Amino acid sequence: MTNSSSTEWPLWEVFIRGQHGLAHRHVGSLHAPDAEMAVNNARDVYTRRNEGVSIWVVKALDIVASAPGEKGPLFEPANSKVYRHPTFFDIPDEIGHM
Amino acid sequence: MTTSPSQNLRFEFALRMGDNALILAQRLGAWCGHAPILEEDIAMANVALDLLGQTKLWLAYAAELEGEGRTADDLAFLRDGRAFRNALLVEQANGDYADTLMRQFLFDAWHLPMLEALQSSSDPRVAEIAQKSVKEAAYHLDRSTDLVIRLGDGSEESRAKMQRALDDLWAFAGELTTPDATDKALAEAGVAPDLADIARRWSAHAEQALADATLTPPKDAAVRKGGKAGLHSEGFGFLLAEMQHLQRAHPGAAW
């Protein structure tokens, strides 16, 4: 192999649903030439121990992420807004544990 | 313990099925840590482990039928070459990855219809083992067919490698679907299917997939056989030496 960046298969992110009713969870990534092989590879790499009932794969390039540098403006404003948490309700005793 | 002729026959059959799976698993296992990419390495090891699991079922049943107190492990690790009943195809050397994939494809295309038919064997134990194995075989065939088509109908280099692998291995494929006296007796007893039916299904799948892969099987190649009768190729002794040396050197050694 002369130039690994041009000969390597694209990276895919893998999401597995563990049981019916649960959401798919990100479990890791792998390389594959196309979507069909990405699903096959995901089956072999990530569901060997009966982890899943459904697989999603998506090209890592297609994922749009928030910029780490903007985490101040993005997330800090929520820190000081305790009233957004549902902690200001009096729960009647009859309800018991919620 | 006296064994009926039909029991001997079924013993022979369980050995054939078990030895095919065992020897192919042993060959595939040699790729572990060496396959071209990580994903393929894991996938190939999965196939090997599936086959090894099936081996345990077949050889445990064979040992039971024999009734001489041997276990599946005894049959795997303490038999000599002439007593192995696997077809010559599965013992062929790994070669490069094209050879390994082509060998797998030719085997899987026989294995799946065989196991599907065995699900209705007159021997309930055989039917049970087939039922347990058939989904694994279906996945193996999907995978090897997909890869043979991708690489055959791929780049000039990958196509040349796949065609060369097909030319080298084609002659060995016929043994699996060519009945001998044992196969005929097994079919008559309803233990195993008529191999002519399996041959038709094998050809239908293989011809279509190879056409999609733009590969051409060699014409008029003689069928190379002997493995089912215990006559193996030169490399087989080395394969057994590697597989068996631990139990031979340290009898009864366990994890």
Asked if the structure places residue A6 within a domain, the reply is no
Instruction: Say if residues B58 and B52 touch (Cβ distance below 8 Å).
Output: no
- DSSP letter at A17 equals E
Among B120-124, B220-224, B247-251, the minimum mean pLDDT is found in B220-224
pLDDT greater than 70 at residue B4: no
Query: Average of pLDDT values for B19-44?
Result: 96
Domain count along chain A: 1
pLDDT tens digit string along A23-82? Answer: 999 999 999 999 999 999 999 999 988 888 999 999 999 999 998 888 888 888 888 888
Q: Where is B7: in which H helix or E strand? A: helix B5-29
Asked if the structure places residue A2 within a domain, the reply is no
Cα–Cα distance between B75 and B83 in angstroms, integer?
A: 9
pLDDT for the residue numbered B5: 66
Q: Is A34 on the interface with B (CB under 8 A)?
A: no
Asked if the structure places residue A22 within a domain, the reply is yes
Tokens of B96: 């490069």
CB within 8 Å: A40 and B46: no
Asked if the structure places residue A70 within a domain, the reply is yes
Q: Is B146 on the interface with A (CB under 8 A)?
A: yes
Tokens of B213: 């892969």
Tell me the residues of chain B between 189 and 248 that have a Cβ less than 8 Å away from chain A: none
Query: Average of pLDDT values for B34-56?
Result: 95
Cα–Cα distance between B102 and B164 in angstroms, integer?
A: 10
Asked if the structure places residue A4 within a domain, the reply is no
Q: Report ipTM (2 d.p.).
A: 0.77
User: Domain residues for A28?
Assistant: 11-95
Instruction: Say if residues A78 and A84 touch (Cβ distance below 8 Å).
Output: yes
> Which of the two residues, A78 and B160, has the higher pLDDT score?
B160
CB within 8 Å: A40 and B146: yes
| CATH assignment at residue A26 | 3.10.20.520
Whose CA is closest to B175, among B103, B223, B141, B240?
B223
Asked if the structure places residue A63 within a domain, the reply is yes
